Structure 1
Amino acid sequence: MQRILTKFTPSEESQAQQNYIYNGYICNTLMSGSWADRSPLHEAAFHGRLLSLKTLIAQGFNVNIVTIDRVSPLHEACLGGHVACAKVLLENGANVNSVTIDGVTPLYNACCSGSAACVNVLLEYKAKPQLECQLPSPIHEAAKRGHRECMEILLAHGVNIDQETSQLGTPLYVACSFQRPDCVKKLLELGANVERGRLQDTPLHAAARKSSVKVVDLLIDYGADVKWRNTEGKRPIDLAAPNSSVEKALLLREGPAALTQLCRLCIRKCLGRLRLHKVTSLELPERLKEFLLYRVC
């Protein structure tokens, strides 16, 4: 279950019962009826009320109680980024891989909230970092929202950096679509395939539709093909807004790359993604190692 956060004003307090006030915002559920059967445990977890949560558990409340939409208290704690509450629930037997009717897991919610602490504690309790392709993907959600630390933690736990879903594409494609330059940079540094996006649409196609020149330049620096055509036969420049800064950036990069750039890409390709971290241990001048890692131009 996901929520849409809308700024709260006093006049809105009488809205429909499915609306719930949280830290000055109205949280509207995307599925009606999911608030009617919320337990006190859900409420305590949602608000991060640790003492209340412990008291309720001591009184015998089932930590795995779910709503009609199969939302658990652990889902709520992670969506709010309340790591202490999440840990108490897990210590008392909460199902770390519980799934709502929409396929959402606590780990997905933790990535939604951007809580690296929650992500870490869930993985410590054996949360599955990568789920079946039909379920909402935690790493895609982290990339979408620009939560780089959550994304890095998942990658460190073996999530496929180029995991592609039919609706979203790869994490890199998602980060480009939502203009998250920090996530784009980190994914590229870690060896994400710069040409793999969604079907024949590359990350550069996704970036060209937006307004971030920084994302476009990052992709080209890491070897993105400015002339790649998607299923509609369009190059990235064909998708850029006319006379925009993105179109100008693409025009400037249409020519052949510098020899130094081609050498860097060739060496990185020969090393392969899984060995990029060994660049620092190579017997090379420090400046050359920095160059291969894109730390200097």
Structure 2
Amino acid sequence: MAELPERVLCENSRSLEASAGKQCDWKDCWADRSPLHEAAAQGRLLALKTLIAQGVNVNLVTINRVSSLHEACLGGHVACAKALLEKGAHVNGVTVHGATPLFNACRSGNAACVNVLLEFGAKAQPEVHLASPIHEAVKRGHRECMEILLANNVNIDQELPQLGTPLYVACTYQRVDCVKKLLELGASVDRGQRLDTPLHAAARQSSVEVIHLLADYGAPLKRRNARGKSALDLAAPNSSVEQALLLREGPPALSQLCRLCVRKCLGRACHQTVHELHLPELLERFLLYR
């Protein structure tokens, strides 16, 4: 059997459950892939249309319920996806992992494929127990796909137990463009994953740009999560993120930052002037004129 492409393995890296509830090895699970699956996965439109004309069922699925439409969307092959849909492919088919064709299209980042699926009745926001297209689009930084879904009434603040909100995911994966757009479109700046806010996620990932974006939109700087930690508590010591959070928190935090800088300077017997320390402009003004 030919080696399976990486895009297939990434979705099926763990053992799959057969419809009877038994475990099966991934090689066995993929042994039932049809020529139609292969044509869709490789974007071979002529071969796909030929197979359909010969009477191959467009809704034939593998043992883990992957259809040819799933394959076409995962590969971003919009012409193949449209041809399958026109012949009656199930637009909302679900794999054993809860993935719909729309989820796969968002994974590949193909906006044209997303639009075609929606035209044929794909659910922009599937049931909560299924894989979420908007979370996948944001996770991979596919802003256009994300915007299309939001234009189709997807809940911008949908919070999933294992992922959080789209904004939380964008902050976790440092997708700055998605963070900007979500905030512009009105995403809640303080809703993340349970008590963890997007700011907590940004602090963990050392993303200064995201810290500033969230703060500009009113992120609760001192909000504590389930472990009693604020974003500042999660920032790496002496990091640019810690500095950004201290500056954003106002005078008490700024004074703390000044003490840290002075202590660090004195600790190395520094004789530099304030200007020579290359401090942030706001901090330099504070030290010069306080």
For residue 133 of structure 1, report the CA deviation from its aligned partner: 1.0
Deviations, residues 56-95 of structure 1 (Å, cap 9, x unaligned): 0001100000000000000000000000000000000000
Partner of 1:215: 210
| In the alignment, structure 1 residue 199 sits paired with structure 2 residue 183 | no
TM-score normalised over the length of structure 2: 0.80
Question: What displacement does 1:132 show?
Answer: 1.1
- Give the CA deviation at 1:27: 4.0
Does the CA contact (< 8 Å) of 1:208 and 1:236 recur in 2? yes
Q: What is the aligned-residue identity percentage?
A: 72
Q: How do 1:93-172 residues align onto structure 2 when only pairs under 5 Å count?
A: 93-172=88-167
The question of whether the paired residues in 2 share the 8 Å contact of 1:18 and 1:35 is answered with no
Residues in 2 aligned to 1:146 and 1:214: alpha-carbon distance in whole angstroms: 16
Which of the two has greater helix per residue?
2
1:41 counterpart (29, 36, 39): 36
Provide the rounded CA distance (Å) in 2 between the counterparts of 1:27 and 1:71.
Answer: 13
* Distance in structure 2 (CA, Å) of the matches to 1:26 and 1:170: 27
TM-score, normalised by the number of residues in structure 1: 0.78
Structure 1 pair 69/18, CA: closer, same or farther in 2 (3 Å)? farther
* Cα distance, 1:123–1:62 mapped onto 2, change above 3 Å: same
2:9 and 2:75 mapped to 1: Cα distance?
Answer: 12
Shift of the 243–19 alpha-carbon distance from structure 1 to 2, 3 Å rule, reads farther
Give unmatched runs, 5+ long, in structure 1. Answer: 1-16, 257-297
Partner Cα separation in structure 2 for residue 43 and residue 118 of structure 1: 18
Q: How much does 1:26 deviate? A: 8.1
Q: Distance in 1 between the 2:77 and 2:210 partners? A: 32
Q: Relative to structure 2, which stretch is displaced further, 70-79 or 207-216?
A: 207-216
1:46–1:26 distance in 2 versus 1, CA, 3 Å: closer
Shift of 1:134: 1.1
**SS at 2:62's partner residue?**
coil
Matched, 1:227 2:211: no
One-letter identity of the residue aligned with 1:198: Q
* Greater Cα radius of gyration, structure 1 or 2: 2
Letter of the aligned partner of 2:179 in structure 1?
V
1:244, distance to aligned residue in structure 2 (A): 1.4
